[in-house]
């Protein structure tokens, strides 16, 4: 990855504040969006399969199905190029 950006802030001040934190509050039903740039330094196309976010609540083990609604995607990255990866996960419960 060459660039990483979390896009769940509604205001510039919130974005600056949460960029420097390692943990933060999330809201049930409000999606968390993560944008990444993945670079392929090889001369050939590569496939990156089933990319998804794995989340947990503070003090819990990482979970996927029970507490979070998430999507997984496959990406094809052409040789010597950079591709944008956008993933979303939505908390299903308060925690």
For the stretch 6-60, pLDDT in tens is 555 667 776 666 666 656 667 888 888 888 888 899 999 999 898 888 777 777 7
Tally the domains of the chain: 1
Residue located via tokens 């507490």: 67
Residue 70's DSSP bridge partners are 89
Asked whether 85 and 35 are in contact (CB, 8 A), the reply is yes
What share of the chain has pLDDT > 90, as a percent? 15
Domain enclosing residue 83, as ranges: 3-91
Q: Count other Cβ atoms within 10 Å, centred on residue 95.
A: 13
Q: How confident is the model at residue 72 (pLDDT cuts 50, 70, 90)?
A: confident
Cα distances (Å, whole numbers) of residue 80 to 5, 15, 36: 22, 31, 17
Model pTM score: 0.64
CA distance 14 to 8: 9
pLDDT at res. 1? 44
d(CA 49, CA 63): 19
């Amino acid at each position: 990855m060459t660039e990483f950006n979390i896009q769940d802030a509604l205001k510039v001040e919130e974005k600056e504040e949460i960029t420097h934190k390692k943990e933060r509050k999330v809201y049930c039903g409000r999606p968390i969006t993560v944008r990444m740039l993945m670079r392929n330094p090889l001369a050939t196309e590569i496939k990156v399969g089933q990319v998804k976010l794995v989340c947990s609540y503070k003090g819990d083990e990482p979970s996927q199905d029970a507490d979070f609604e998430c999507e997984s995607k496959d990406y094809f990255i052409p040789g010597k190029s950079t591709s944008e990866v956008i993933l979303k996960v939505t908390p299903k419960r308060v925690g």
